[in-house]
């Protein structure tokens, strides 16, 4: 086990089948009585598209409001999924307390945002799943997980997903 795990960053793509990785994060949280930041990153299609969207939102406040509302909706979706997971899969003694979980939604390149948020919250460990094999490298591990491991300086727990 890892010594002194205080803050866990759990990065999720919100796809079906990601429960094993979240279960690992919850298990670590329970073992160390720590906190989880549940992170979902909305990836921009390209830098050019992102700049265009930013310009449009700057010109039309209703577009900015629509954007902000969509981020709130994703955060609510995350919290609802966490509540459903806890109700379905955790015993009473495993339940997370309200102050043990924070949900965040960021925009950008997934691996860069994961590392940025990990630094920001001073994460002890990053937990994430991959739908690819367990070997190293982009093709076997998955590009986001591989880049987090390659560019990060924190322990990363990779959980294979179905």
Residue 159 lies in a domain: no
The CATH number that applies at residue 89 is: 3.40.50.620
- Other C-beta atoms within 10 Å of 77: how many? 14
Residue 160 lies in a domain: no
Question: Which of the pair, 36 or 89, is modelled with greater confidence?
Answer: 36
Residue 60 lies in a domain: yes
Give just the sign of the alpha carbon dihedral 87, 90, 95, 96.
negative
- In the structure, what pLDDT confidence band is assigned to residue 151 with cuts at 50, 70 and 90? very high
Residue 100 lies in a domain: yes
Residue 66 lies in a domain: yes
Q: What is the DSSP string of 7-22?
A: EEEEE----TT-HHHH
Residue 32 lies in a domain: yes
Average pLDDT, the chain: 84
At 98-148, the pLDDT tens digits run: 788 888 888 888 999 999 999 999 999 999 998 765 455 445 556 899 899
Which DSSP symbol is given to 72? H
Residue 28 lies in a domain: yes
Structural domain of 104: 7-128
Residue 84 lies in a domain: yes
Number of H helices and E strands in the chain, helices first, is 6, 5
Helix, strand, or coil (residue 152) = coil
Number of domains, the chain: 1
Dist CA 161 CA 34 (whole Å): 24
Dist CA 123 CA 45 (whole Å): 28
């Amino acid at each position: 086990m890892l010594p002194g795990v205080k803050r866990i960053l759990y990065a999720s793509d919100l796809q079906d089948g990601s429960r094993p990785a979240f279960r690992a994060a919850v298990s670590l949280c329970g073992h160390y009585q720590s906190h989880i930041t549940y992170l979902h990153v909305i990836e921009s299609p390209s830098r050019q598209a992102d700049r265009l969207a930013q310009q449009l939102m700057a010109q039309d406040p209703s577009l900015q409001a629509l954007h902000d509302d969509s981020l709130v909706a994703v955060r609510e979706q995350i919290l609802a999924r966490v509540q459903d997971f806890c109700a379905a899969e955790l015993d009473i003694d495993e339940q997370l307390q309200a102050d043990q979980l924070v949900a965040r939604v960021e925009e950008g390149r997934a691996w860069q945002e994961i590392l940025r948020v990990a630094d920001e919250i001073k994460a002890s460990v990053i937990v994430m799943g991959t739908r690819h094999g367990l070997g190293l490298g982009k093709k076997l591990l998955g590009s986001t997980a591989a880049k987090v491991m390659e560019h990060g300086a924190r322990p990363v727990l990779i959980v294979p997903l179905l």
